[in-house]
Structure 1
Amino acid sequence: MSLIGTGFLTIFSFVFLISIVVVIHELGHYWAGRLCGVHAEAFSMGFGPTIASWRDKRGTVWRIAAFPLGGYVKFLGDAGAASEPDAEKLEEMRRRMGPDAERCYHFKPIWQRAFVTAAGPIANFILAIAIFAGIALTLGGQPYQPPIIGAVAEGSPAAEAGFQEGDRVLAINNNRIDAFQDIITEVVWRPGEMLTFTVQRGEREMTLRAAPAPTEVEDQFGGTRTLGRIGLGSLSTPPLRDSYNPITAIGHGIDRTWSAVSMTSRYVIRVITGRVSPELLNGPVGIATAAGQTAVSSVEAGNNAGESTLLLLINLINLAGFLSVGLGLVNLLPIPILDGGHLVYYAYEAVARRPLSMKAQALGFRVGLALVLGMMLVATWNDLNYLLGQIF
């Protein structure tokens, strides 16, 4: 594929992914606000100059902006994205707004404000469940591989730990293992970390300990990542895909979303506490790279234009599911400029029976901004290192 074609696909795919997950996030806030009687003054799909806009019967201005990278919802009384008025400001706002105060976000009960705030991340998780369930229902799922060891690489950490063919892995660090893929998921992001495996061998249950070897792994696009490898192989299984009905597909979507939530949250906690490398954190450059790589490989895999387009949509939508989980989790971090920070403020208000002071909120905003910028800096550094690895 030409450089121009690759660039176009990358831009299209990145905009497609970001628009889906961010707009759904903001729609979560919007619908929760409507349920609680909060007036939304504006809902924007994208940023920058307005291309088209209209006002609905509830008085909300819907706009399509020039730069389709996400969006936002503005509720009545919103002064900024990172602060809540203190008691004095609230009284002044109530006098100024008069009867409209009843439709203002800030005058709603704490539980309603918390619900509206949490609804954005919740919408992201619902989107992920819907995506994974929809793909399983229409295309089927990957064949189930039991967590039974089919091969042990000679000289590997698994061989040194005493693993044998036929062993069934029940848990890793007390986390239940249901399929062989779960073993891979638990191991890849923990290179060098000593793990405890609960193993069933015949009628006996035993404990084995092994540390995944840090391994430079080259992907199909020429980039490298340092991942954990332990040297275990699965049993060979027939290449048949599992089939689902609507009920089991939803269960599959919930299970896959929960797995992504569990793994991502545990990884982020270990990064914050300094127990694992932040190498796997990715930012906008990484998302754009993954989107472009997914798009190019999908188009090239198709035998004709129709097949390529179908593969492109399926793979991008699947990637959107994982990105949606990530966005939902990041927004739940207890950082003041994020949804999770607002939830912390509401918890304080519920206990203290008054909002946090504007001075404390301003301090929280500065600390939160520094933390978010720090995470973005690390993520961007990782993204650039990955790109350089593809070039040199």
Structure 2
Amino acid sequence: MSLIAQYLVPFLIILSVVVFVHEYGHYWVARRNGVRIESFSIGFGPEIFGRTDKAGTRWKFSLIPLGGYVKMLGDADASSTSIDRAKAAQEGSFPSKSVAQRMAVVFAGPAFNFLFAIVVLSFLFVFSGRPFTPAVVGEVQQDGPAAAAGLLPNDRITAVDGKAVDSFERLQDIVRDAAGVPLVLTLERGGQAVQATVVPKLQELTDRFGNVHRIGLIGVSRAGVEFVRSNPLAAPFQAVGEIGRMVGGTLQAIGQMIVGSRGTDELGGPLRIAQMSGQIAQDGLVPAIWFTAVLSINLGLINLFPVPMLDGGHLVMYAIEAVRGRPLGERSQEIAFRIGLAMVLTLMVFATWNDLIHLRVVEFVKGLVS
């Protein structure tokens, strides 16, 4: 029971919030474009409980809590990959709407995920403060690259290769991707500007969730973390900037995985998310809210990838329809969605396999049969 309370409950709450935000985006824009919604579900499979509102929409929780869907009039299935011909011509059906309206409905899901994250991060920045770590050296590892370059405790790093650095996090971002590359640091020491050349060393680190990262390190620790409360007017812009950095970092990591310069063992699935949800929830409400915002950003970003079955794939097909003046043929759409389904399922299986290895389930099973 304690295991369920520690991991499963936080996971279900956090995932349900993120999925609700995404699906509500589809629902809200669809309703404002005159589309009738048949059902709004958190989870897949058989219904556990629900209610039907005055507009005829069935709001429900379903058995498998790994996503959700909005089924609109004219959809033959929950994923909107095929059309119910008997309903498509009816007033208020999704297929009867213009291409622009359908694109707006599809785009609204990821958009709401990002808007939700902006609102959440803005409130956190105003009331809890924005985490900020000055680029000041705390301790210097004796046998590390920084010590060899002559860095000392309390040195303030103001620039790297002539580009200004305003936080320790920014310094880490530069260093982690520069293993073996000489970096010229501009330091402020005792009121004077000093320069030092350091070469980050490639190392493997395991984070608190067991993920192994191959990154560049120079062998220094931060002096301390500060929380700076933001002005309410500036907080949304700062939240957008933070989201931009997260998205940029995610896309960079994916690109590195594709070209092979970064391991794919960092990819995680539902089991890893459940583990992270439970561990972060133990740290308190604020970290859990922060994690929910991050998960919302990732869900919005992933759904914008141009893969059939995902929102991005639907947007590509609607864009093609807008250019051609007519939709792709049913056979072409069927092939595209089958390819998309295969890609999504392959990624899910791969991520789940990573989870099983990460959580030592595979090792445990091998021990039972050996």
- TM-score per shorter chain, which class? 0.7 to 0.9
CA distance, structure 2, for counterparts of residue 251 and residue 318 of structure 1: 17
What's the TM-score, normalizing by structure 1? 0.78
Give the 3 Å change call, closer, same or farther, for CA 383–197 of structure 1 in structure 2.
farther
**Structure 1 stretches (4+) deviating beyond 6 angstroms?**
159-164, 202-209, 389-392
Question: How far does the alpha carbon of each residue in 1:118-149 deviate from its partner, in whole angstroms, 9 at most, with x for none?
Answer: 1111111112222222222222232x334455
Question: How far does the alpha carbon of each residue in 1:27-71 deviate from its partner, in whole angstroms, 9 at most, with x for none?
Answer: 010011112221111112333433443333323222233554442
Q: Is the 8 A contact 2:308 2:314 kept in 1?
A: yes
Give the SS at the match of 1:181. helix
The more displaced of 251-260 and 353-362 is 251-260
Q: Is the 8 A contact 2:158 2:165 kept in 1?
A: no
Q: Which residue number in structure 1 is paired with residue 247 of structure 2?
A: 261
The reply to whether residue 180 of structure 1 matches residue 168 of structure 2 is: yes
Q: Which residue number in structure 1 is paired with residue 81 of structure 2?
A: 83
Q: Which residue number in structure 2 is paired with residue 287 of structure 1?
A: 273
The reply to whether residue 320 of structure 1 matches residue 292 of structure 2 is: yes
Give the SS at the match of 1:335. coil
Q: Is the 8 A contact 1:147 1:234 kept in 2?
A: no
Correspondence 1:230-269 to 2 at 5 A: 230-233=217-220, 236-237=223-224, 240-269=226-255
Give the 3 Å change call, closer, same or farther, for CA 29–198 of structure 1 in structure 2.
farther
Question: How far does the alpha carbon of each residue in 1:313-354 deviate from its partner, in whole angstroms, 9 at most, with x for none?
Answer: 333222111111111111111110111111111121122222
- Structure ranking higher in helix proportion: 1
Match for residue 202 of structure 2 among 188, 197, 213: 213
Aligned residue identity for 1:169: A
Correspondence 1:315-354 to 2 at 5 A: 315-354=287-326
Give the SS at the match of 1:107. coil
Give the 3 Å change call, closer, same or farther, for CA 348–132 of structure 1 in structure 2.
same
Aligned residue identity for 2:213: T
Give the SS at the match of 1:58. coil
Aligned residue identity for 1:22: V
Give the 3 Å change call, closer, same or farther, for CA 145–293 of structure 1 in structure 2.
closer
Q: Which residue number in structure 1 is paired with residue 340 of structure 2?
A: 368
The more displaced of 118-127 and 261-270 is 261-270
Q: Which residue number in structure 1 is paired with residue 133 of structure 2?
A: 145
Q: Is the 8 A contact 2:140 2:221 kept in 1?
A: no
Aligned residue identity for 1:108: K
Q: Which residue number in structure 1 is paired with residue 158 of structure 2?
A: 168
Aligned residue identity for 1:355: P
- Point out which structure has higher relative CO (alpha carbons under 8 A, 6+ apart): 1
Q: Which residue number in structure 2 is paired with residue 12 of structure 1?
A: 9
Q: Is the 8 A contact 2:157 2:165 kept in 1?
A: no
Q: Which residue number in structure 1 is paired with residue 99 of structure 2?
A: 110
Give the 3 Å change call, closer, same or farther, for CA 166–315 of structure 1 in structure 2.
closer
Question: How far does the alpha carbon of each residue in 1:156-188 deviate from its partner, in whole angstroms, 9 at most, with x for none?
Answer: 45567897854423579x9x8542112324555
Aligned residue identity for 1:225: V
* Alignment gaps of 5+ in structure 2: 365-370
Give the 3 Å change call, closer, same or farther, for CA 186–260 of structure 1 in structure 2.
farther
Percent pairwise identity: 34
Aligned residues: 358
Give the SS at the match of 2:115. helix
Question: How far does the alpha carbon of each residue in 1:83-118 deviate from its partner, in whole angstroms, 9 at most, with x for none?
Answer: 355xxx9xxx4x8655x34x2211222222111111
CA distance, structure 1, for counterparts of residue 50 and residue 36 of structure 2: 18
Q: Which residue number in structure 1 is paired with residue 29 of structure 2?
A: 32
Q: Which residue number in structure 2 is paired with residue 307 of structure 1?
A: none
Q: Which residue number in structure 2 is paired with residue 306 of structure 1?
A: none
Q: Is the 8 A contact 2:43 2:62 kept in 1?
A: yes
> What is the Cα deviation at residue 205 of structure 1?
12
Q: Which residue number in structure 2 is paired with residue 303 of structure 1?
A: none
Q: Is the 8 A contact 1:38 1:104 kept in 2?
A: yes
Give the 3 Å change call, closer, same or farther, for CA 106–159 of structure 1 in structure 2.
farther
> What is the Cα deviation at residue 277 of structure 1?
1.5
Match for residue 62 of structure 1 among 59, 62, 72: 59
Match for residue 128 of structure 1 among 114, 117, 120: 117
What's the TM-score, normalizing by structure 2? 0.82
Give the 3 Å change call, closer, same or farther, for CA 199–52 of structure 1 in structure 2.
same
The more displaced of 58-67 and 117-126 is 58-67
CA distance, structure 2, for counterparts of residue 211 and residue 120 of structure 1: 41
